[in-house]
Structure 1
Amino acid sequence: MAQEIIAATDGSALVNPGPAGWAWYIDHDNWSAGGWEHATNNQGELRAVLELFEATAHLPEHKLKVLCDSQYTINAVTKWLPGWKKKGWKKADGKPVQNQELIQALDEAMQGRNYEFVWVKGHSGQDMNEAADTRARDAALSFQQGTPTPSGPGFNLEVSPETDTKHVPQETKNSSVEDHTKNPSTAMNVDDVLGLVKGYERTLYQPEHYEQEQYLEKVLGEDFWWVTYQGIRTQRSLAVEYRTRAFYAHDEPIFISCEMLGDSVIRLLSRVKTRHMSVMRTSLWVQDTTGDLGWVLSSRQDTACPQES
């Protein structure tokens, strides 16, 4: 049986189109990322898959399982591509296929390969997907801010039919946050833990999560408090009661920094567009050895900042 390499891919556009990034991720020692000053989210998604196929091109005998949260990308390369080729790279309405160059390059890269695409729900706590998403967004931020792009170590797995399979991820977790085993971060390195917590932070900007009282009870610490940009201190019970009003935002957060403070505290700084203005938000996450997620949100503090022009 052919050995299997499991990797997650993701793309991120801070403005669509705008500063954008792509990333593929296998583990802490095997990932890559890049981006552009101006591109679309779909271009990032496609480029991530292309880069993954090219990075593993020397191992055509190994099955490549691609975890992807973009249904557009999966459909483009597994369903629509043959028809587009027959029609001279035209869609059913006669218009040119968007992102044709990337899709053509992918078509060539997939020739002779043993592969499988698996859709996973984005921003739902699936470890590898969150790691790829974090790296793609960090790459996009680097182009937005003019800082060096964290490109990653690339592909370094030395695999062969006789290689010990422990070096190749053999299974993935369900894409739902609620399906994590207890304390999923216990065996993870620092970068992966930070990526996991960023994923949990993002769920609090998604109505399917924050509108569920049961989920907030799980992700908010027992002593959670929140200081608004007006200087008003809000307790956990009030945040849960008025959750839709409290957690609503116009977009996902733009992460500025994420760092460990000791062994059991993570400080996450982000910029968020709320109902009234943009705020700089400091979130403190603490390790929870008894909960389902392994980490809970301990506190938040917002500081008003000027709106972007």
Structure 2
Amino acid sequence: MSEDSEEEKDLTDLSDEELEDLSQDFMEAMPEALGKAMGVDFFGEMSEEEKEEFEEDFPEQIEEILTRFRDALQKDSEEEQAAAMFEVYEEMTEEFFMSEEDKEEFEGDTGVEWLVEQLRFSIEGSRKSMEELGHAEYFDIIYGFAVDVFESGQAGDVKEFYDGLDDSSQRAALQRVMNPVIMEYYDYIKEYQEITDNEEARQYIEMYYELAELVKQILPRFIAVLQIVSGREEAYDDLKDMRLNNLLQKLESKKYSRFNKLAEGIDRELRNSIAHRDFTVDPVNDEIEFRDRGELVAEMSYPEFQEEFFKILALFNAIWVFRMILNYYRLQALPRAIEELRKQESGG
């Protein structure tokens, strides 16, 4: 693809040579994107032979996938495109994601049905994790909302909003599949199930602040979804520039009463105290003092603060998993919808 082209081409307009170049670019960018998204060195554990094999085979696989999608999107009608895209998803899932054991276990089922099962497993795991933290109610609020969005026929509008956001990078795509923060923090609290000294207390404090910042990043999208579902024009561009306190005020307003409980997941005074480094860890009494502009706002024992951390972790997890739940229901309904399209095309 020429560098001086005025605008990016649509996938359907790309030639075989351009798809080959795009696949090579994807391969070169993928290790760095994976490293940033997942916090791992993709090539770190590979031998030179394995690295060379990956660099040779992976672009060919990507090119094959892109070619199949391009050909499907070049069908004449939207119905034909949808049916062709479904077949591509089926083939790609079975070929690149399902192990031989999976194929035996799901014999007679489609690749999409296997994907649905993987999503269901992940969603159930998320709820179990939040239940272990003592705050499954956050998950239940989000889950119930996602079901209502799907059943009301508004899932397409929400998907269109998400698709329109500037988060189509490989890094963002990887983070939608597996959240590295959740993995990292759950690993830590599994190893340090109780705060026993000042070093662990400080680590929990830092994680609390990081989670508060992450909630600030994803809350604008969720509130924009609430606006869309309630029939108002979404104001994401304004929301993403708001302070965390203003976002939480929206979440705890009367018009979003269903979601007021979620706003309790963050203690704003604790967050501000940590942000301004205005706290003191007392290892003698196993306590932490939090101040705001010099004024004491909270004095907590280690277990009390750990409970606050569990709340914000559960809150972040719940909001983050919303899109996965919505995708689960949309994907679950896909085979039936495609079958209806095929019947219409055949006049059945």
Shorter-chain TM range is under 0.3
Higher Rg of the two aligned structures = 2
Structure with bigger helix share is 2
Q: TM-score, normalised by structure 2?
A: 0.22
Structure with bigger strand share is 1
